[in-house]
Amino acid sequence: MKEIRFRLFLVIGAFALSLYLLYPTYQDYKNNVDVSETLVHLEDSLKESSPNLTPTEIRELITAKKDSILANTPEYRSAREKRIKLGLDLQGGMYLVMEVNTAKLLERLAKDPDEQFFEILKQAEAESQLSDENVVTILARLMQEKNIRLSRYFGSIREDDAQIIARLQEQESDAVTRAIEIIRNRVDQYGVSEPNIQKQGSRRIVIELPGVAREEEAKRLLQGRALLEFRLVKDADFAIPIMNRIDEVLAKSLGIDSAQVADTTQQLTEEEFAKQHPFFAVARLADPQGRIPDAYVKESDKPKLNAYLQREEVKKVMPDNVEFLFDAKPIVGDDGEKYYRMYMVNKTPELTGGVIVDAQANIDPTTSAPVVSMQMNAEGAREWARITGSNIGKRCAIVLDGVVYSAPVIQSKIPSGNSQISGIPNLDEAKLLEIVLKAGALPAPVEIIEQRTVGPSLGQDSIRQGFNSLWLGYTLVAIFMIFYYRKAGTLADIGLIVTVLLILGVLAGFQATLTLPGIAGIVLTMGMAVDANVIIYERIREELNTGKTARAAVDAGYRNSFSAIIDSNITTFFTGIILYQFGSGPIQGFALTLMIGILTSLFSALIVVRMMFDYMLNKGQKINIG
């Protein structure tokens, strides 16, 4: 009786612990229902207040509002953090495959690259898309075929090709590893629960973001390089003569006589002005008097201007140390067109974002506009103090990923290392910018090569169908066990309920992620769980047929079937370990629930059901094996 009492306490303890671990899941489900009820009228109000919104946009806004409430309310957040996590296939979200553009990394590492280098690099990049070889290996092979030493573009003349290849391969691999860590940091700060980020091949990254509804925002978060630079803006006395010279060479190359251009300065029609001043026709000076060298460019004219700047005759008159950059945010003119402000800035930054140690998005109290405040480390603060102190009265452009966010005039020396980015459209954009700055800059651009979106409604359908299959599987197994083994089959069915409860409790306790293949693993476990009972019951039948008493038959049945049960389950468990170790995504979800199911089914068959058998024998009840 003492042995039964110990097992009873053990079973009750496991049962109670599972219920305790599953309570946050129930609480989160109830919170979802409560929040959904409070937002029931939001869809109607959005349709009335914003008739231009599409049904998809309205659903995204409602989902975002619901997620915000559940994530930011303390009592809701606690339950959400401790619940059973749902995978991408069950709650919806985004699936992306991203590739690190290591060719751009090599382009940045190269010293004095020429047309020949860019041609070979382009060929290596194209070939890498069709093979498993990395870009460095292909580039080295192509250069060797052309009898070009790698030291011409990388490293020193004293290094041989093997040394340079080894170093470049290490840098290429390190770039992918760093990209994974930076993306992981960004996703964690963004607040995505149970994301799955894995390396695939040599330079691809698989990302699963369950529950993410705003696709474009997530893509900007993942792809933004966060390459922050502080660049000095050129003064008018330097920039205007260059811009005039560009205009002259363009007019000449397009067939306009330079003397004619000089004579026609007044009363020109738009068409005549565009013919005689092709550069200033698309880049209108912000100040016609030439005191400010900035220009405004129509959004539709940006491709034409970029084509002008790529012409050989323009490159010859453009100094090598300057370039034109555009504002991140356009302004809308009186004609309804979007205009981007264009600056002439130094190509070499005075300071980069590597010195940023903290960033904070907030609202500027003086302008009510969103800004991002940044704090530099000690080295950055010293350098920033030197830069600002020696350039008082000049403008410094704050450039992020090649676009200008603001270009304030340096009023005085800034010794504290504090700086600020303005010109951000809204607070959500400022929050994204804060995240990418704090997480760090990507070592190389990442490109999305595959994207899939699972809608929340599809996820709900998967949950419903998965649990329907779970209940159907349980019902069929339970009916068979009762029909074939009578009262003993009923005990096995009770043990099966305990098995499923323990599986879910373990998943909740370890904050594992439940996926659709995971539900399949639970369904398979139910069949395997009664398999142990079937072996035991058949042995008990054999012992009863030899004339043994019920207690002796039960003891012998459990003792003689123990080794067969353990052997079969151990081999399956090892298979689950292999699947989990070498699989990914859905395969891991299936393997995880399978392994947990094996352990819990053994607990149910050997302890829970055995305890019920012993209790019935102690009470003198008849054992019916069918």
Alpha-helical segments (H) within 546-584: 550-582
Place of tokens 């947990």: 596
CA-based Rg of the chain, rounded to a whole angstrom? 34
Give 338-386 pLDDT, tens digit per residue: 899 999 999 989 988 778 878 888 888 887 788 888 888 888 888 889 9
What is the reported pLDDT for 456?
A: 58
DSSP string, 254-269: TT--HHHHHH--SS--
Give the C-alpha separation, 62 to 42, whole Å: 7
Q: Which of 198, 133, 193, 202 lies closest to 174, judged by CA?
A: 202
Q: Pairing state of beta strands 513-514 and 85-86? A: parallel
pLDDT digits (tens, 9 = 90+) for 283-332: 988 888 878 889 999 988 898 898 888 888 888 889 988 999 998 888 88
Q: Name the residue among 63, 389, 44 with its Cα closest to residue 211.
A: 63
As given in the structure block, the two tokens for residue 113 are 């690259």
Lookup: tokens for 389:
């102190």
Question: Can you tell me the distance from the alpha carbon of 329 to that of 510, in angstroms, rounded to the nearest whole number?
Answer: 45
Angle, CA 14 vertex, CA 12 and CA 19 arms, to 5°: 95
Note whether 531 and 494 are within 8 A (CB): no
Q: What is the mean pLDDT of residues 180-208?
A: 77
Judge whether 592 and 512 are in contact, CB under 8 Å.
yes
pLDDT at residue 322 in the model: 92
In this structure, what token pair is assigned to residue 318?
């453009």
Whether 259 shows a pLDDT value over 60: the answer reads no
Pick the range with the lowest mean pLDDT from 79-88, 302-311, 605-614.
79-88
Query: Mean per-residue pLDDT for 90-100?
Result: 81
Q: What pTM value is reported for the model?
A: 0.56
Res. 584 pLDDT band, cuts 50 70 90: low
Checking if the pLDDT of 258 tops 80, the result is no
Report how far residue 205's alpha carbon sits from residue 221's, in angstroms, rounded to the nearest whole number.
Answer: 15
Q: What's 13's DSSP letter?
A: H
